[in-house]
Amino acid sequence: MQRSLYDAQKGLVSTRLAKRANQISLFKILGGGV
């Protein structure tokens, strides 16, 4: 139980990081990354 909770939390964090990275990439593509 403890391990699956940890894995779920880790997955959530990596998902957030990926989402943030995608937003930054999109921002740069649109020319706003000055």
pLDDT digits (tens, 9 = 90+) for 20-33: 999 999 989 988 75
pLDDT band at 3 (very low <50, low <70, confident <90, very high): confident
pLDDT value, residue 17: 96
Please answer whether residues 21 and 12 qualify as being in contact, where contact means their C-beta atoms are separated by less than 8 angstroms: no
pLDDT value, residue 19: 96
Give, for 19, the enclosing helix (H) or strand (E): helix 2-29
pLDDT value, residue 34: 59
Domain boundaries, the chain: 1-34
pLDDT value, residue 10: 94
How many degrees, rounded to 5, is the angle at CA 19 between CA 11 and CA 5?
15
